[in-house]
Structure 1
């Protein structure tokens, strides 16, 4: 960041500092999934399915994941090949396909959640409570301000 603590950094410096934290964190998270032979693209879907719980329509998952249905189909194909997800017909509308985690997928997510919790504990072990509160507020504000898509010119 800046050499002086009282100097207000410009937005680009803040973004670069954030990237310096996020990049290695994403690398470590990707490594957790790689140990289980799950590509990061599929890992993201696994996490999302785990958080949503229960069977979901392909269209709902595609929209929530921010991809077109064809892309989601490829991701689900990969999860199915690994035995982590399964497709079933919707009992209320047989034209609709539901996707859910298998027992193996749920077990894997429990393992990954445990490892992720250990990583979080390791990262934040030395961060004082007041700083954690401040960071949570800052991140919440950034999340609210950020929108998908291209920046305005």
Structure 2
């Protein structure tokens, strides 16, 4: 049976692991000369999942942030040439966001940095341990048995 202290320790370990992944990924990106924030990285990855350029409101909803936050991210990515604003072909008042060739190249470099970070972190694990970890992480990510609303524990 899990005690609150044991669950707290697990939560702390997950947070420390996440920070480690980010540090290693950031180092890899710096080696590639790619200056990009984690939030910009997330926006680029999200853009790549759309079959046609989305509206900023669509991005804000998907990223679960306020629209103003997306505007700031798009401004930075547009200034670096990684995305561009394009008019909607059916409604000129609507602006859509699309990846540029530089944005697609940045995504390739980001994927490489993520793979290198994962290789570094997972290096001490055997293949069997990696499979077990993958299954456990899938369970946590999918939220099997989780309640959507957080419990008030204050």
Normalization by structure 2: what TM-score?
0.80
| Aligned residues: CA RMSD | 2.6
Residue 139 of structure 1: CA displacement?
1.0
Equivalent pair of 2:29/2:113 in contact (CA under 8 Å): no
2:31 paired with 1:27: no
Q: Deviations over 1:71-129 (max 9, x none)?
A: 11111011000111001011122222110111011111112212322332333244222
**Long gaps (5+) in structure 2:** none
Q: Which residue of 2 aligns with 1:152?
A: 152
> Structure 1 residues 52 and 122, CA, compared in 2 at 3 Å: closer, same or farther?
farther
Residue 66 of structure 1: CA displacement?
1.0
Q: Which residue of 2 aligns with 1:77?
A: 75
Q: Which residue of 1 aligns with 2:57?
A: 59
Normalization by structure 1: what TM-score?
0.81
Could you list the structure 1 runs, at least 4 aligned residues long, displaced by more than 3 angstroms after superposition: 30-35, 51-54, 146-151
> Structure 1 residues 70 and 149, CA, compared in 2 at 3 Å: closer, same or farther?
farther
Cα distance in 2, alignment partners of residues 93 and 122 from structure 1: 47
Segment of structure 1 superposing worse, 125-134 or 80-89? 125-134
Residue 151 of structure 1: CA displacement?
4.7
1:140 to 128, 132, 138: 138
Q: Number of aligned pairs? A: 147
Cα distance in 2, alignment partners of residues 39 and 78 from structure 1: 10
Residue 30 of structure 1: CA displacement?
3.2
